Amino acid sequence: MTSVMSATATNVTWPKTRPRTLFKSLVEMMPGLLLNVHRIHDWCTEVLERCHCTFLFKGLWFANMNMLVTCDPADVHHIMSSNFANFPKGSEFKQMFDILGDGIFNSDMDLWKNQRTVAQGFMRNQRLHNLLLRTSQYKVEGGLIPVMDHFAKLGLVAGIEDVFQRFTFVATCILVTGHNPRCLSIEFPQVLFSKALDDAEEAIFYRHGRPLCFIKLQRKDLNRGSNSISETVEEGVDLLTSYTTEEKSTGLECDDKFLRDTILNMMLAGRDTTSSALTWFVWLVSCHPIVENKIIEELQSKIPAEETRKRRVFKAEEVKNLTYLHGALCEALRLYPPVPFQHKEHLKPDVLPSGHRVHPNMKILFNLYSMGRMKSIWGKIALNSSLKDGLTSEEVLNMSRPSKFLSFNAGARTCLGKEAAFGQMKSVASAIVYNYRIHVSDQTPIVPAISIILHTKHGLMPKISTR
């Protein structure tokens, strides 16, 4: 294993070196990938560390796997901001992520600009913002807390990641469609749509190493049936209603396909990214009592002294400006970004700030997981030491450079739901940390799954007790 790793790391194409041959691609790079696919994120991090944050991977010619892999902040800034127009997501990305149709995450150029402008306007709507705040508060009090109490009372092992996915699924359904699927309860009803999304995410990951012709042959309907959705929350506020009632003013053709694509894009983003971030946050905090205690102290500073020993669900305005809680969430996002990688194509040949050339038939892959762990970027706090020290580093508490903290994307494609996501995470994180103790067994390693979303491989299954 070590010899393959060393060969892969050292036989990297640098600027002005001769191109790799097919034979060398087969005997040097492909074995390293195949032997380490089960730990692909950490393997890429090790290679990138040795290659100063950028390397050219050459795979099998028929698999179209030639790609420039980078986590260099200067390269990212160049691609996402200063030369953004030259680096669309491209047609190949759209084919890999075909379930998203022509939605905002798949689209480029004018189609993307028009969708983003409209979505941005809706997200700034005060009624929609209020709906999100009310929904989060309501589902924490009426859904999350009863489920957590159930686990604590019976001494059961809790599937925390599943709980968080159900929470974010419900909240996103209400925000996007105005309806509540009612799946966050101690009965844990099956959610076929969520299972279909999980399967699709895993399949899309493996598409990165398969020829596009294989993808076309393997396409099949992902419809698994429907989970009964009922209970309208507030008529006329949700995004679906906004799109259909304001079609003329938006200039978009809101037919069934457009609405389907838009809803699926937003459901995928709202359910998976936030639940992934919360899962890794809770695990990290459970492993670092110093951080846990500091979060509790900060939360207690926002309430009267006589109420500090009582159970509490914090309101949005109480947790909005908590610096330490915000920093701890950012640290979890840095080390375990919900979307661990993304890729781009380019319209014209270019030279990146690192000196690497991009040319036709080459994909560019950002490795966000690796970016959060590079010593050359983060120095001594690169590998979790900030948590061991109690999260005191200003570098972590003030992540002001999107080009090296890419969890919410950067430049023109910065996530429109960033503030909403932070508000939702703080609402859940404060309730969990303040009211419960999370006991994670050391017997089952907590490692990332192989997917386009950074889920845990075996789930996070701690025991819960009340404080």
Summarize the annotated binding site for heme as residue ranges.
415
With a CB cutoff of 8 Å and minimum separation 6, the contacts of 443 are none
Instruction: Give the CA-trace dihedral at 157, 316, 126, 116, to 10 degrees.
Output: -50
Q: Which residues line the annotated binding site?
A: 415
> What is the Cα 298 distance to its own chain's centre?
26
DSSP for 276-343? HHHHHHHHHHHH-HHHHHHHHHHHHTTS-GGGTTS-----HHHHTT-HHHHHHHHHHHHHS-SS-EEE
Distance between CA atoms of residues 138 and 363, nearest Å: 44
Distance between CA atoms of residues 118 and 124, nearest Å: 10
Distance between CA atoms of residues 283 and 288, nearest Å: 9
Bridge partners, residue 373, by sequence: none
With a CB cutoff of 8 Å and minimum separation 6, the contacts of 302 are 314, 318, 319, 322
Which CA distances in Å does 180 have to 228, 329, 341? 9, 27, 31
Distance between CA atoms of residues 384 and 44, nearest Å: 18
With a CB cutoff of 8 Å and minimum separation 6, the contacts of 461 are 157, 158, 159, 160, 441, 444
Distance between CA atoms of residues 215 and 204, nearest Å: 9
